[in-house]
Amino acid sequence: MKNQNPAAPAKGAGAGAAGGKNTRNTGPGRLLIAVYAVFAISATARAGYQILTKFSEAPLAYLLSAFAALVYVVATVSLAKAGSTWFKVSVAAVLVELVGVLVVGALSVFDSVQFPHETVWSLFGRGYGFIPLLLPILGLVWLYRRRPSLNR
């Protein structure tokens, strides 16, 4: 049977922990989004500056900084938006961030020639107090606790 009210969401579509409301951007989720926003702005500014002024010194590192900035922007926006699609985008962005921090962190330790200058994710985010390493873990825990459920 079709949904008679076109403004009402279909059953299960975008239903968060509170039945259609985005519960990811409430309580501690607001702080998480704010931290992601700060990282999105700072990583974008840093990558832009590095690429515009010193690209030839460490092209791989600076392109990875730009990629990290893009991931932080996507994570920020998707965490703030409601719906199951945005939830999936959030999970994907935070997983990419975690893999990025682990891979770039390991590469910057074992192949420091490719990383003569630090990036957001190099040395597991040491230059940022290791927050880039902790942030995706906290993000995944938050997303798990606020995952959409068809049974709610």
Closest CA to 40 of 84, 78, 74: 74
- Residues 121 and 64: beta-carbon distance below 8 Å: yes
Cα separation, 69 vs 84, in Å, equals: 24
- Residues 103 and 78: beta-carbon distance below 8 Å: no
Residues in the chain with pLDDT < 70? 1-22, 150-152
Grouping H, G, I as helix, E, B as strand and the rest as coil, residue 48 is: helix
Cα separation, 91 vs 50, in Å, equals: 28
Quote the pLDDT of residue 17.
Answer: 44
Cα separation, 77 vs 65, in Å, equals: 19
Q: What is the pLDDT of residues 49-59, one digit of tens each?
A: 999 999 998 88
Cα separation, 53 vs 126, in Å, equals: 23
Q: What is the pLDDT of residues 102-119, one digit of tens each?
A: 999 999 899 878 777 788
